[in-house]
Structure 1
Amino acid sequence: MAAGCDDFVRKPYREADIFRVMAEHLGLRYLYGKEEPQVSAAPETALHPRDLALLPADLRAALLQAVLELDTTRAQEVVETIERQDGVIGPVLRKLAENLEYERLLALLEDNDSEPEDI
């Protein structure tokens, strides 16, 4: 305090402690919105690698390339094409792509020959 500080917060600190100290010294008042229930990012229908094997090879390859390059725009474009061709697989892939769940997409795309596993 002799160094000119008004207060201090010891580590490890909680986020609430930081906001409390800022409110106290800066005269802040926080308005908190109603907390929305968290929706699971998991798709409603589990996909298996064998499901993606039913898609044309060029679409699988394009989606795999987009995922490997982390190209969100290209991934969305490929998923939209898949959605037009397959109304079941497409929406699930769209949800995965929108949520940037590229590890799941990668697991599905790279493992078309193995035993089914819920992803």
Structure 2
Amino acid sequence: SVFKVEIPCVIAESMEDTYRNFQHIKSVAPDSPNYKILIVEDQMENRLLLQRILENVGFELKIATNGAEGVDTFVDWKPDLIFMDVRMPVMDGLEATKRIRQHPLGSQVKIIGISAHVFKDEVQQFLASGMDDFIKKPYHFNEIYRKLQKHLAVKYSFYRTADVSNNQQATLTPQMLMVLDESTLTELKQYVEQLEHAKLSELVERISTKNKELSNILYFYVANYRTTEIFSVLKQLYLNRN
């Protein structure tokens, strides 16, 4: 016997198109509510990256470094969404999520779990604790923005194609790095070679006080763990000098 089955479906847009769309985000749309986002994360490197990803487009943030602090901050501040690391000292993310859900207003907040390693059986554990969703480390800004759109219906304002081209947001060149002093270049090279993302994030923050445009471009690479490309540009810069 031959059976014929027709399954209606919608063809999803390609990952390339999705990435391109979120890559061109300029800010949260001007008519948007004031979204309050709580980051609960004990690792400084990860906090800095996630904080920069969110601040860069206009979200209001607060930080907690363990689950207990996260619960207290939720009670005091009432965020719209929480990025909750699963494994933390003092109180882990699963317990913190359960306690938040027990609060009278705990059902209103969206909670996205964060973990470097996510196995199939753990996904159900995350959801059973009360989490709405999860993401894997390392962070990627396009995934973060997608999750916020999914759970809070966030609307974004996008760069026009010409704006993105003019700002060269995703293209770092040796000429751009020539404005940095020798000490800063040495630090940049060292942190990139040693994959010191925490120190690299701090350095980009310092650069932003003097050169916001360059800082934003470097942030784009750091947030997406494209440090090998930064190294290649640095290498080209030094070759051009000789």
Q: CA deviation at 1:81?
A: 0.8
Q: Deviation digits for residues 53-100 of structure 1, max 9, x if unmatched? A: 111111111011001000110110111111111011110001101111
Name the Cα RMSD after superposition.
2.7
Question: Could you tell me which amino acid in structure 2 is paired with residue 63 of structure 1?
Answer: L
The unaligned stretches of length 5 or more in structure 1 are: 1-33, 115-119
Give the TM-score normalised by structure 1.
0.58
Richer in strand (by share):
2
Residue among 213, 218, 222 paired with 1:93:
218
Quote the residue 1:82 is aligned against.
207
Residue among 181, 196, 210 paired with 1:56:
181
Counting matched residue pairs gives 82
Q: CA deviation at 1:44?
A: 2.3
Give the TM-score normalised by structure 2.
0.30
Aligned to 1:85, the other structure's residue is in SS state: coil
Q: CA deviation at 1:49?
A: 0.4
Q: Which has the larger radius of gyration?
A: 1
Runs of 4+ in 1 over 4 A off after TM superposition: 34-37
Q: Deviation digits for residues 7-66 of structure 1, max 9, x if unmatched? A: xxxxxxxxxxxxxxxxxxxxxxxxxxx988622469625221021011111111101100
* Greater RCO, 1 or 2 (C-alpha within 8 Å, sep 6+): 1
How far, CA to CA, are the matches of 1:48 and 1:79 in structure 2?
16
